[in-house]
Homo-oligomer: A and B are copies of this chain.
Amino acid sequence: MSKQERTLVELAEVVGCCSPLVREPLSAEQSTELARLFKAMGDPVRLRLLSLIASHAGGEACVCELTDVFDLSGPTISHHLKVLREAGLISGERRGTWVYYRVHPEALGRLSAVLVPTEAAVGQ
Protein backbone atom coordinates (compact mmCIF):
# COMPACT_ATOMS: atom_id res chain seq x y z
CA MET A 1 0.00 0.00 0.00
CA SER A 2 1.45 3.41 -0.97
CA LYS A 3 1.81 6.33 1.43
CA GLN A 4 -1.01 8.06 -0.44
CA GLU A 5 -3.34 5.08 -0.15
CA ARG A 6 -2.52 4.65 3.55
CA THR A 7 -3.44 8.27 4.20
CA LEU A 8 -6.75 7.88 2.40
CA VAL A 9 -7.60 4.74 4.35
CA GLU A 10 -6.75 6.63 7.58
CA LEU A 11 -9.15 9.33 6.44
CA ALA A 12 -11.89 6.74 5.91
CA GLU A 13 -11.32 5.36 9.41
CA VAL A 14 -11.30 8.79 11.03
CA VAL A 15 -14.58 9.87 9.48
CA GLY A 16 -16.25 6.56 10.35
CA CYS A 17 -19.23 4.86 8.76
CA CYS A 18 -18.00 3.02 5.70
CA SER A 19 -14.94 1.59 4.09
CA PRO A 20 -14.21 2.90 0.63
CA LEU A 21 -16.79 1.26 -1.65
CA VAL A 22 -14.04 -0.22 -3.80
CA ARG A 23 -12.98 -2.29 -0.78
CA GLU A 24 -16.26 -3.81 0.37
CA PRO A 25 -19.90 -3.50 -0.71
CA LEU A 26 -22.11 -1.05 1.17
CA SER A 27 -24.95 -2.62 3.15
CA ALA A 28 -28.56 -1.73 2.27
CA GLU A 29 -28.68 0.58 5.32
CA GLN A 30 -25.42 2.36 4.49
CA SER A 31 -26.54 2.81 0.87
CA THR A 32 -29.84 4.33 1.94
CA GLU A 33 -28.12 6.76 4.30
CA LEU A 34 -25.39 7.83 1.87
CA ALA A 35 -27.71 8.03 -1.17
CA ARG A 36 -29.72 10.67 0.70
CA LEU A 37 -26.62 12.87 0.87
CA PHE A 38 -25.65 12.26 -2.76
CA LYS A 39 -29.21 13.03 -3.86
CA ALA A 40 -29.07 16.38 -2.06
CA MET A 41 -25.88 17.17 -4.00
CA GLY A 42 -27.33 15.90 -7.29
CA ASP A 43 -28.50 19.32 -8.38
CA PRO A 44 -26.21 21.99 -9.91
CA VAL A 45 -27.61 24.88 -7.85
CA ARG A 46 -27.35 22.97 -4.57
CA LEU A 47 -23.85 21.75 -5.33
CA ARG A 48 -22.73 25.27 -6.17
CA LEU A 49 -24.38 26.65 -3.03
CA LEU A 50 -22.54 24.01 -1.01
CA SER A 51 -19.19 25.03 -2.55
CA LEU A 52 -19.91 28.75 -2.08
CA ILE A 53 -20.60 28.17 1.61
CA ALA A 54 -17.72 25.71 2.13
CA SER A 55 -15.11 27.93 0.50
CA HIS A 56 -16.31 31.22 1.98
CA ALA A 57 -13.84 33.17 4.12
CA GLY A 58 -14.35 32.22 7.75
CA GLY A 59 -16.19 29.04 6.77
CA GLU A 60 -19.64 30.61 6.77
CA ALA A 61 -21.71 32.55 4.27
CA CYS A 62 -24.63 34.91 4.72
CA VAL A 63 -27.70 34.00 2.69
CA CYS A 64 -27.58 37.64 1.50
CA GLU A 65 -24.33 36.84 -0.36
CA LEU A 66 -25.62 33.62 -1.90
CA THR A 67 -28.74 34.83 -3.67
CA ASP A 68 -26.92 37.33 -5.93
CA VAL A 69 -24.78 34.59 -7.51
CA PHE A 70 -27.79 32.92 -9.15
CA ASP A 71 -30.43 34.13 -11.53
CA LEU A 72 -33.07 32.61 -9.25
CA SER A 73 -35.66 33.93 -6.79
CA GLY A 74 -35.02 34.12 -3.05
CA PRO A 75 -37.61 31.42 -2.26
CA THR A 76 -35.96 29.05 -4.78
CA ILE A 77 -32.55 29.54 -3.16
CA SER A 78 -34.16 29.06 0.28
CA HIS A 79 -35.70 25.80 -0.89
CA HIS A 80 -32.32 24.47 -2.06
CA LEU A 81 -30.66 25.54 1.22
CA LYS A 82 -33.41 23.70 3.11
CA VAL A 83 -32.71 20.48 1.16
CA LEU A 84 -28.97 20.75 2.00
CA ARG A 85 -29.82 21.45 5.65
CA GLU A 86 -32.25 18.55 5.95
CA ALA A 87 -29.64 16.21 4.47
CA GLY A 88 -27.21 17.27 7.22
CA LEU A 89 -24.71 18.87 4.84
CA ILE A 90 -25.04 22.42 6.21
CA SER A 91 -26.54 24.22 9.16
CA GLY A 92 -27.84 27.76 9.45
CA GLU A 93 -27.86 30.26 12.27
CA ARG A 94 -29.96 33.40 12.31
CA ARG A 95 -28.10 36.52 13.48
CA GLY A 96 -30.14 39.70 13.16
CA THR A 97 -31.74 40.01 9.74
CA TRP A 98 -29.81 37.22 8.03
CA VAL A 99 -29.15 33.50 8.27
CA TYR A 100 -25.49 32.40 8.12
CA TYR A 101 -24.67 28.95 6.76
CA ARG A 102 -21.75 26.57 7.48
CA VAL A 103 -21.00 23.19 5.95
CA HIS A 104 -20.59 20.09 8.12
CA PRO A 105 -17.07 19.05 7.15
CA GLU A 106 -17.49 15.60 8.71
CA ALA A 107 -20.31 14.87 6.22
CA LEU A 108 -18.09 15.89 3.28
CA GLY A 109 -15.22 13.83 4.72
CA ARG A 110 -17.38 10.78 5.04
CA LEU A 111 -18.55 10.98 1.42
CA SER A 112 -15.02 11.69 0.20
CA ALA A 113 -13.68 8.67 2.07
CA VAL A 114 -16.38 6.34 0.73
CA LEU A 115 -15.51 7.31 -2.85
CA VAL A 116 -11.72 6.94 -2.57
CA PRO A 117 -10.65 4.83 -5.54
CA THR A 118 -7.85 2.27 -5.66
CA GLU A 119 -4.19 3.22 -5.69
CA ALA A 120 -4.01 2.34 -9.39
CA ALA A 121 -6.72 4.84 -10.22
CA VAL A 122 -5.15 7.63 -8.16
CA GLY A 123 -1.91 7.21 -10.09
CA GLN A 124 -3.55 7.51 -13.52
Contact = CB atoms under 8 A, between A and B. Distances in A.
Contact of A55 (B22, B28, B54, B122): B22
A112 B105 contact: no
Contacts of A26: 47-48, 51
Interface string A26-67: 101001101110111111111110111011000000000000
A23 B105 contact: no
A48 B22 contact: no
Given A44-B28, A46-B35, A112-B112, A105 B117 contact: yes
The count of identical subunits is 2
A115 B112 contact: yes
Interface residues of A, number: 54
Contacts of A42: 35-36, 38-42
Given A24-B51, A112-B116, 8 more contacts: A7-B7, A11-B122, A14-B123, A22-B51, A22-B54, A31-B48, A35-B46, A108-B117
Interface of A: 3-4, 7-8, 10-11, 14-15, 21-26, 28, 31-32, 34-36, 38-48, 50-52, 54-55, 103, 105-106, 108-109, 111-118, 120-124
